[in-house]
Amino acid sequence: MNTIYPVVWSNNKVLLIDQTALPSRYTLVEISRYEDMAKAIKTMIVRGAPAIGVAAAYGMYLGARDIQTKEREIFLKQLEKVAEILRQTRPTAVNLFWAISRMLKTAYESIGTVEEIKQILLQTAQQIQEEDVKTCQAIGQNSLSILPKKTEKLTILTHCNAGALATAGYGTALGVIRAAWTEGRLKRVFADETRPRLQGAKLTAWECVQEKIPVTVISDNMAAHCMQKRLIDMVVVGADRIAANGDTANKIGTYGLAVIAKMHNVPFYVAAPLSTVDFNLETGDLIPIEERDPSELYQIGTTIIYPDGVDYYNPAFDVTPAHLITGIITEQKTVKPEELITLKSDLSYH
Ligand SMILES: CSC[C@H]1O[C@H](OP(=O)(O)O)[C@H](O)[C@@H]1O
């Protein structure tokens, strides 16, 4: 059973696993102010769509806690400012915006004193966190019915980190992998390093090692060769935002992986909670793609790997078109991309 929780409420503050320090150092960062939570999301101390949704929810509570007024209207007006600062952290993962909206809606719909509303906001952040763990476990269970039917144990390739560290716990793509491992269906994980931030090498591999799941780390440019050599039975990745037609934004490199999987008839699945689906966007070309600092490209540790005089382009995500996706594994069920819209009414909140 996974016990990696990237965000923990403890002693009236939030403890974050510093994911920029893993795997060499396991350290916790204490967050007591919403401004520091915003910074932790932007600098990827906490990252992964569901995890930053949970972090933003606690950030909303921390901001609310510091608002010094008993006047409801003044409180709500200042809470809107907290929300705007948190919204400006990262643009792609819809969970961030979903969580902030849910916290704001809760505040507006709550009756009682300002202090009572603050307590309701804390409870709501904790509820969002608890729901996500259960959602990830349901995704894992739902994936068992779609695992390739073969007698030998499976080798599953994943990209970036869609694990416990990217969620409230258990993970989405790694939730599928954990479920397969628990059921005795998994032989090995192949983890793409995932340039430039290397979440696969640093975080997915770390999670697998913690739970003694055999893992092979490969450089991103090895995936095609591994599929050509029939080493991979299935690919499963996470998602940051899924459009209503099933087009999926995920870590840069996912689209290329989907093209290679299609070429080699390897099943390619997206594992994501319904809170990652943006039913307001018809197609994936409308998904905002974050561009990050070019130093992520040209610097590894203290080493500069590019010569002076080059230009940079650092999109953090790309969009995989629905026709390259075999299925989307959600907490309700696994659907073909074109069937995703049928789950819209199942969304408890959006
Ligand atoms: C379970 S969502 C994980 C998703 O988020 C990651 O992006 P980042 O590390 O930049 O937050 C990546 O796209 C993962 O698939």
Alpha-carbon gap, residue 235 to 268, rounded angstroms: 5
Within this chain, do residues 192 and 327 fall inside the same structural domain, yes or no? Answer: yes
The pLDDT of residue 349 is above 90: no
59: which 2 tokens? Answer: 């950030």
Q: How confident is the model at residue 350 (pLDDT cuts 50, 70, 90)?
A: low
Whether residue 298 lies inside any domain: the answer is yes
DSSP string, 235-264: EEE--SEEETTS-EEEETTHHHHHHHHHHT
Please choose, from the candidates 326, 197, 209, 203, the residue with its C-alpha nearest in 3D space to the C-alpha of residue 257. 326
Q: Which CATH number fits the domain that encloses residue 50?
A: 1.20.120.420
Q: What percent of the chain has pLDDT over 90?
A: 97
Whether residue 2 lies inside any domain: the answer is no
Q: Which residues are annotated as a binding site?
A: 47-49, 90, 199, 250-251
Instruction: Give buried/exposed letters for 37-57 (b at 16+ CB in 10 A, else e).
Output: bbebbbebbbbbbbbbbbbbb
Q: What percent of the chain has pLDDT over 70?
A: 98
Q: Which residues are annotated as a binding site for substrate?
A: 47-49, 90, 199, 250-251
The pLDDT of residue 348 is above 90: no
Within this chain, do residues 109 and 258 fall inside the same structural domain, yes or no? Answer: no
State the average pLDDT for the chain.
97
Within this chain, do residues 91 and 36 fall inside the same structural domain, yes or no? Answer: yes
172 with 136: CB under 8 angstroms? yes
Among 98, 115, 138, give the residue marking a domain's end. Answer: 138
Distance 217 CA to ligand 1 centre (A): 18
Catalytic residue (choose from 240, 247, 278, 318): 240
Atom of ligand 1 nearest to the CA of 249: 13
ipTM: 0.98
Within this chain, do residues 215 and 130 fall inside the same structural domain, yes or no? Answer: no
Alpha-carbon gap, residue 173 to 163, rounded angstroms: 6
Name which residue sits closest to atom 7 of ligand 1, judged by CA.
48
Within this chain, do residues 29 and 153 fall inside the same structural domain, yes or no? Answer: no
Neighbours of 20 (CB within 10 A): 16
Distance 283 CA to ligand 1 centre (A): 20
Among 138, 160, 186, give the residue marking a domain's end. Answer: 138
Name which residue sits closest to atom 4 of ligand 1, judged by CA.
48
Q: How confident is the model at residue 312 (pLDDT cuts 50, 70, 90)?
A: very high
**Owning domain of residue 330:** 148-346
Within this chain, do residues 197 and 339 fall inside the same structural domain, yes or no? Answer: yes
Distance 47 CA to ligand 1 centre (A): 7
Whether residue 264 lies inside any domain: the answer is yes
Domain count, the chain: 2
Atom of ligand 1 nearest to the CA of 172: 1
Pocket lining for ligand 1, CB < 6 angstroms: 47-50, 160, 162, 166-167, 172, 199, 237-238, 240, 250-251, 316
The pLDDT of residue 75 is above 80: yes
Within this chain, do residues 95 and 166 fall inside the same structural domain, yes or no? Answer: no
The pLDDT value given to residue 286: 96
The pLDDT value given to residue 23: 98
Alpha-carbon gap, residue 236 to 162, rounded angstroms: 9
The pLDDT value given to residue 346: 72
Within this chain, do residues 211 and 185 fall inside the same structural domain, yes or no? Answer: yes
Region 220-242 average pLDDT: 98
The pLDDT of residue 2 is above 90: no
Whether residue 1 lies inside any domain: the answer is no
Alpha-carbon gap, residue 342 to 330, rounded angstroms: 12
Region 102-120 average pLDDT: 98
140: which 2 tokens? Answer: 């894992």
Residue 240 falls in the annotated catalytic set: yes
DSSP string, 273-324: -GGGEETT-SSGGGS---B--THHHHEETTEE-S-TT-----BSEEEE-GGG
Q: How confident is the model at residue 345 (pLDDT cuts 50, 70, 90)?
A: confident
Among 107, 138, 169, give the residue marking a domain's end. Answer: 138
Residues 22-51 have pLDDT tens digits of 999 999 999 999 999 999 999 999 999 999
Distance 316 CA to ligand 1 centre (A): 9
pTM, two decimals, is 0.97
Within this chain, do residues 162 and 250 fall inside the same structural domain, yes or no? Answer: yes
Name which residue sits closest to atom 8 of ligand 1, judged by CA.
48
The pLDDT value given to residue 1: 53
Whether residue 161 lies inside any domain: the answer is yes
| CB burial of residue 230 (10 Å; 0-12, 13-18, 19+) | exposed
Within this chain, do residues 156 and 255 fall inside the same structural domain, yes or no? Answer: yes
324: which 2 tokens? Answer: 């390259």
Region 287-291 average pLDDT: 98
Name which residue sits closest to atom 1 of ligand 1, judged by CA.
162
The pLDDT value given to residue 3: 80
Within this chain, do residues 191 and 335 fall inside the same structural domain, yes or no? Answer: yes
